[in-house]
Amino acid sequence: MAKVDLKKELSYLYQPSAKEVTEVDVPTFRYLMIDGQGDPNSSPEYAEAVEALFSVSYTVKFMLKKGVQALDYAVMPLEGLWWADDMAAFVANDKAQWKWTMMIMQPAFVDAETIAQAMTDVLKKKKLLAVSQLRLESFSEGRCAQILHIGPFSEEGPTIQRLHDFIDARASRTGKHHEIYLSDILTCSPKLVR
């Protein structure tokens, strides 16, 4: 059985340079998404949202692997969109005011019916209330700037500043701050988070 690995197929998006900011054109993808607000380090809502995303995504993966189609694929990494009503909340590190959409990209061959069945199965097994807040949605970004940050979140300020300087020299900033977590932020050493 062949295994689909979208992270490798889309390496220009999922293997960015840590040395320089680059410009990329991000096509429309479908994501399993959930919204929330608050400090991701202490919010039970955030932790449950992430657990719901991974639980449903892995349930879908194994449903398709064991199903008639016998499709195997790598579950994509966790991604997050971050913003605040007053963007000064980020500068002030007022994480209680942060808003987020956490998401995991779904391969094109994953249909809405399979997602719905996986959500039902996860709700029966784990009773995660956040599962009922999940949605499958297309998301378009288009022209973006990206850079890889390696290290703890507390040290990402200079990396984000380089990104903003790159954008400001070429265009105006639009959209939400988008992060892709290539390492498991729950099990990885804080020095190696990327």
Domain-by-domain residue ranges, the chain?
28-143+177-182
Contact 143, 25 (CB under 8 A): yes
Q: What is the pTM of this model?
A: 0.90
Give per-residue burial for 142-170: e unless 16+ CB within 10 Å, then b: eebbbbbbeeeeeeeeebeeebeebbeee
pLDDT at 75 (0 to 100)? 96
Query: What CATH number does domain 28-143+177-182 carry, 3.30.1490.20, 2.40.30.110, 3.40.50.10540, 3.20.80.10?
Result: 3.20.80.10
pLDDT of 44 higher than 60: yes
Q: Tens digit of pLDDT for each residue in 73-118?
A: 999 999 999 998 887 776 677 888 889 999 999 999 999 999 999 9
State the chain's mean pLDDT as an integer: 89
Q: Tens digit of pLDDT for each residue in 143-182?
A: 999 999 998 877 888 888 899 899 999 999 888 999 999 8
Nearest 5°: phi and psi at 22?
-125, 155
For the segment 59-74, the average pLDDT, to the nearest whole number, is 92
